Chains A and B, each alone.
Chain A
Amino acid sequence: MSLAAIKIENLSYSIPGKTILDNVSLSLAANQFSVILGRNGSGKSTLFNLITGKYPYSSGVVELLGKERSSIPQKSLAKTIGFLPQFHQSVFPFSVYDVILTGRAAFYRFGPSGRDHEIVEQTLLNMGISHLKDKSYTDLSGGERQLVLISRVMAQGPDILVLDEPTNHLDLHFQVLVLDKLKLYSRSGHTVICIMHDPNMASIYADHTYFIKDQKAYDSSLLIAEDPFANIYEALYEMPLMQVQVKDKTIIIPQF
């Protein structure tokens, strides 16, 4: 495996009366598209919040590109990691352009420079949403909004991009569009890490898949190496599943 973008060692997290993550160690490869799967309430979002720094951690290590997370100064943090939280509601009808421009906020003191505007225009172009530029963000469909929010984090240009269920609530068209754009981002020298619910989308898009189950994290390729004939998804989702081979990918469906 190549250099780790995120390296987690012996990370534990608990709330009163409940251990959510227990001594987790995980290494997420740089410049790859990695997906984290797990059942509802398995601690995926907690892991997301620990990586992104929303939750402080008392035991264990989280390293971003070889540096301890808490030791990275606020200024270079924006360049290192960007993330997309799960839900977002905007109260004010900002234009799409204004929303994406806020992605550059860490890099200017008072107002954005010409370079910031150039980057926003370029991001709009790359994401194929230039036509939405002057539209009001609150008038967009859910799928368009998600593209705008992803553009916003991409305009920031972080080395590592972490997303919490980016395809949630999106129709198939937008799911594919969003994942295509994220894959593209990972192919241009960036690391993309997605928390997802759809194991099939994961196996179609991901370079690496990780599982979270019973407060622990697992690398799916190691699980397969251990027991090539086991249906690892049945263990993950705790239900009987059928497997179908399409091209070189394994697609799983519930039994019927």
Chain B
Amino acid sequence: MKTPYFSITTMRSLLINTIIYGLPIPVIIISLLIGSSDNIGLAAFWDWIRSLVDSSHPSPVLVENVIFNIRLPRALMTFLVGAALATAGGVLQAIFRNPLVDPYILGISSGAAFGASLAILVPLLSIHISAFVFGAAAVSLTYVFGYTKNSSSITIILAGMIVSGLFSASLALVQYLSDPFKLQAIIQWTMGSLHLSSWHKVQQSWIPISLGLLGLYFIRWKLNLLSLGDDEARAVGVNPTYIKIIAVLLATIVTAVAVASAGIISLYGLFVPHITRMLVGASNTKTTPANIFFGGTFLLIIDNFCRTVFPYEIPIGIFTMIIGAPFFIFLIKKRKINWS
């Protein structure tokens, strides 16, 4: 027998699923229609679509240039970065059993930023690889510093701050040592800018990010087990170590690539997993795909605001910090357990 309550929850979940999985395409299309070139709107877009489908229709060169070469790669890049940071955040919160962490707080972002700038200064490794290596080094250091037998959620955060500070200082040192030409490249890059998105950057990053996200999607069932704690995993015959290492590695890969492509976008990986948890419930089997899709869409929406609300563009990292900081404070105030 189905009670009315049941049908309301069904409708609610239908609506939520529509928002999470149905929104990406329309939002990407809207992103193609808005921007500083005001005259390229819906009509021009329609013209361009027709020229793609019907070869006899004249191709509008300027429109094609703006939409295809500027706005589309940026929209795709933003979506990938948002999906990467949100999913990595959700996974790290599960692994560290701590709703207050994300790639930025654990130091992965600073580590990756240092790695990438080091690769610009001394081109031994490619920017992406170097970002990954130092991102992984940062999260390992945070774990070693912050993980003691009775560590609380706060010790991990403090350790992350120290590690983050360490790599930020090293980044400043790299900048200090760089010649003016490279310095400009490093600074422009660390400011975290999506306006430098290009097809080249999309090509470089979509494969590692997609593979990383796919990997995290495959282990989503194990994430619930891991977030109950190590003893609870061993209690039911699972050694948590390997799966934890795999999960943190994948989260670090997607974060490092996101940072290497768009700079540091602070706290985004912290608050999006909380939003998706409110929408679909706590189970990682549902939040992982939701973080991928909603994470991508939501960053795209924020970026569209950054591009259009003010006459000049605001770096997106500033916006996410403005949303994320009060959210972080709110979580700290609300959180009563697992504290001392």
Contact = CB atoms under 8 A, between A and B. Distances in A.
29 contacts: A54-B231, A54-B234, A74-B237, A74-B239, A77-B237, A78-B237, A78-B238, A88-B232, A90-B227, A90-B228, A91-B98, A91-B153, A91-B338, A93-B282, A94-B228, A94-B283, A98-B283, A99-B224, A99-B228, A102-B225, A102-B236, A105-B222, A105-B233, A105-B237, A105-B238, A106-B237, A106-B238, A110-B219, A153-B236
Interface stretch (A79-87, A167-175, A177-185, A190-198): A79-87
Contacts of B237: 74, 77-79, 81-82, 105-106, 156, 158
B235 A84 contact: yes
A80 to B, nearest CB: 8
B99 A82 contact: no
Interface of B: 94, 97-99, 153, 218-219, 221-222, 224-225, 227-229, 231-239, 277, 281-283, 285, 337-338
B235 A153 contact: yes
A53 interface: yes
A98 B234 CA distance: 17
Contact of B234 (A53, A88, A94, A136): A53
A103 interface: yes
Contacts of B99: 91-92
A105 B221 contact: yes
A89 interface: yes
A91 B236 contact: no
A101 interface: yes
B125 to A, nearest CB: 33
Contact of B231 (A77, A85, A95, A158): A85
B48 to A, nearest CB: 42
A91 B235 contact: no
Interface in A100-123: 101-106, 108, 110-112
Contacts of A103: 236
Contact of B235 (A52, A98, A108): A52
A89 B251 CA distance: 25
A69 to B, nearest CB: 13
Contact of B236 (A94, A136, A156): A156
B248 to A, nearest CB: 17
Contacts of A7: none
Interface in A135-183: 136, 152-153, 156, 158
Contact of B225 (A93, A105, A110): A105
Nearest to A107: B237
B97 to A, nearest CB: 5
A158 B235 CA distance: 10
Contact of B221 (A52, A78, A108): A108
A102 B283 contact: no
A27 B153 CA distance: 41
A111 B338 contact: no
